[in-house]
Amino acid sequence: MRALRTVLVFTLLLLAVSCEIPFALDNVSEPAIYIELIPASPYKTAFFKVGYAEPPYGKPGVRAHTPAVQDISLSLNGQPVQLEPEAMVNGNLITVVPQDFEPVPGDKVDISVKSGSAPLASASTVIPPLPVLESVEMVPAGEDSTSKTAKVTVKLAGDVKEGEYYGIRLLEKVTIVTLSEGFQTDTTVNFEYKLPGQVASREDLNSLDLDAFANVQYNGALTDEGLNISGPMMLLTAKQFKGASYSFYVSRGSGFDWSILFPEGIDLPEPEMPLGDTQMPDIPQTETLVLVDNAQYVVELYRLSEELYNYFKAQYLMEFNMLSNFGVTPPNFTYSNVLGGLGIVGGISGVRTQWLELPDTSPLSICKKAI
- Please, which of residues 178-197 interact with other proteins by CB under 8 A? none
Q: Is 282 in the site for other proteins (CB under 8 A)?
A: no
Nearer to other proteins, 188 or 230 (CB): 230
**Using CB under 8 A, which of 4, 99, 265, 371 touches other proteins?**
4
The least distance separating other proteins from the CB of residue 336, rounded to whole angstroms, comes to 6
279 binds other proteins (CB under 8 A): no
Phi and psi torsions of 30, nearest 5°: -120, 165
Report which of 281, 21, 306, 7 is spatially closest to residue 166, judged by C-alpha positions: 306
Query: Which of 18/259 has CB closer to other proteins?
Result: 18
State the minimum distance, in angstroms, from the CB of residue 27 to other proteins.
Answer: 8
By the rule CB under 8 A, 162 interacts with other proteins: yes
Q: Does 251 bind other proteins (CB under 8 A)?
A: no
CB of 344 to other proteins, least distance (A): 11
Q: Verify binding: residue 126, other proteins, rule CB under 8 A.
A: no
Q: Which is nearer to other proteins, 77 or 207 (CB)?
A: 207
Query: Could you tell me which of 83, 78, 125 has the C-alpha nearest to residue 336?
Result: 125
Decide if residue 95 touches other proteins (CB under 8 A): no
Residue 239 lies near other proteins (rule: CB under 8 A)? yes
Q: Residue 367: exposed, middle, or buried by beta-carbon count in 10 A (0-12, 13-18, 19+)?
A: buried
The answer to whether 278 contacts other proteins (rule: CB under 8 A) is no
CA distance 177 to 289: 8
φ, ψ (nearest 5 deg) of residue 333: -170, 170
The answer to whether the peptide bond before residue 42 is cis (omega within 30 degrees of 0) is yes
d(CA 128, CA 31): 31
Give the CA count within 13 Å in the CB-facing half-sphere of 254.
Answer: 20
Q: Smallest distance, Å, CB 90 to other proteins?
A: 5
Site membership for other proteins, residue 320 (CB under 8 A): yes
Tell me the closest approach of the beta carbon of residue 64 to other proteins, in angstroms: 7
Judged by CB under 8 A, the chain residues 41 through 80 that form the site for other proteins are 51-64
**DSSP string for residues in 345-361:** E--EEEEE---EE-TT-
Q: Which stretch binds other proteins (CB under 8 A): 18-26, 169-177, 216-224, 249-257?
A: 18-26
10 binding other proteins? (CB under 8 A): no
Looking at 182-333, which runs of residues are DSSP E strands?
183-194, 215-218, 231-237, 245-253, 288-292, 296-304
Residue 170 is a binding residue for other proteins (CB under 8 A): no
Binding to other proteins by residue 272, rule CB under 8 A?
no
Q: Residues touching other proteins: how many (CB under 8 A)?
A: 77
Under rule CB under 8 A, which residues in 128-147 are in contact with other proteins? 145
Under the binding rule (CB under 8 A), the answer on residue 269 touching other proteins is no
Which run of H or E residues covers position 316? helix 306-320
**Radius of gyration over every alpha carbon of the chain, rounded to an integer in angstroms:** 25
Taking every pair of Cα atoms in the chain, the longest distance, rounded to a whole number of angstroms, is 72
* Shortest distance in whole angstroms from residue 145 CB to other proteins: 8
14 is an interface residue for other proteins by CB under 8 A: no
215 touches other proteins (CB under 8 A): no
Nearer CB in complex with other proteins: 31/106: 31
Q: How far is CA 101 from CA 111, 223, 354, in A?
A: 13, 20, 27
Among 44, 108, 151, 202, indicate the residue that binds other proteins (CB under 8 A): 202
CB-count exposure of residue 94 (10 Å: 0-12, 13-18, 19+): buried
- Beta-strand pair 348-352/40-41: parallel
Q: Which is nearer to other proteins, 79 or 161 (CB)?
A: 161
